[in-house]
Amino acid sequence: MDVELIIVASDAGVMNARQKGRELATTVGISGSDLTLMATAISEIARNIVQYAGQGEIEFHSVVRGGKRGLMIIARDRGPGIADIAQAMQDGFSTSRGMGLGLPGARRLMDDFKIVSEVGKGTTILMVKWEH
C-alpha cells in the first residue's frame, strides 16, 4: 500500500479521513468491531485538528510487526500545540466546551498511541490498529 494522505480542514475532511481509514484497514486484515473503534479514533483526532488547528493532515501506512499487519495513522497539524500533554490525556479535561474524551478516548480505542506536541508549532499523533 502506498502512503495515503487526507487533508483535514472541515467536517468533510473528518469524514474523508474516517472513510479512508476504514477502507485501508480492511486491506490489512482489520475487521469487525476493530474497524469501528479505529474509525472512531480517527474521527476524534481529525475533529481536534479542525477545532484547534484549523487544518492538518492524516497519513495512512500499512505496517507489519511480529508477523501481524496493521494500519498506522499519523495526524499532524501546525496549530497552537498542547502545553500539558499529561493533562490533555486525562478524561474530562478540555480547553473548549467539549467533554474532554477525544485524546484519551482515541488512546483507548487504538493498540498503539503516541503524541508529540510543541506549543506554537503543532501536534503529531501516531496511532496503530493491529489485526487480531
CA distance 43 to 93: 18
The grid coordinates of residue 46 equal: 481529525
pTM for the model stands at 0.91
Per the listing, cell 484519551 goes with 104
Query: Is the predicted pLDDT of residue 93 greater than 70, yes or no?
Result: no
Lowest mean pLDDT among 45-49, 59-63, 97-101: 97-101
pLDDT digits (tens, 9 = 90+) for 102-121: 799 899 999 999 999 999 99
Q: Quote the pLDDT of residue 102.
A: 79
CA distance 123 to 16: 20
Query: Is the predicted pLDDT of residue 1 greater than 60, yes or no?
Result: yes
- Helix pair 11-27, 33-48: axis angle to 10 deg: 150
CA distance 29 to 13: 24
- Residue 55 · residue 11 · CB < 8 Å: no
- Residue 50 · residue 14 · CB < 8 Å: yes
CATH 3.30.565.10 fits 4-130, yes or no: yes
Q: Quote the pLDDT of residue 52.
A: 92
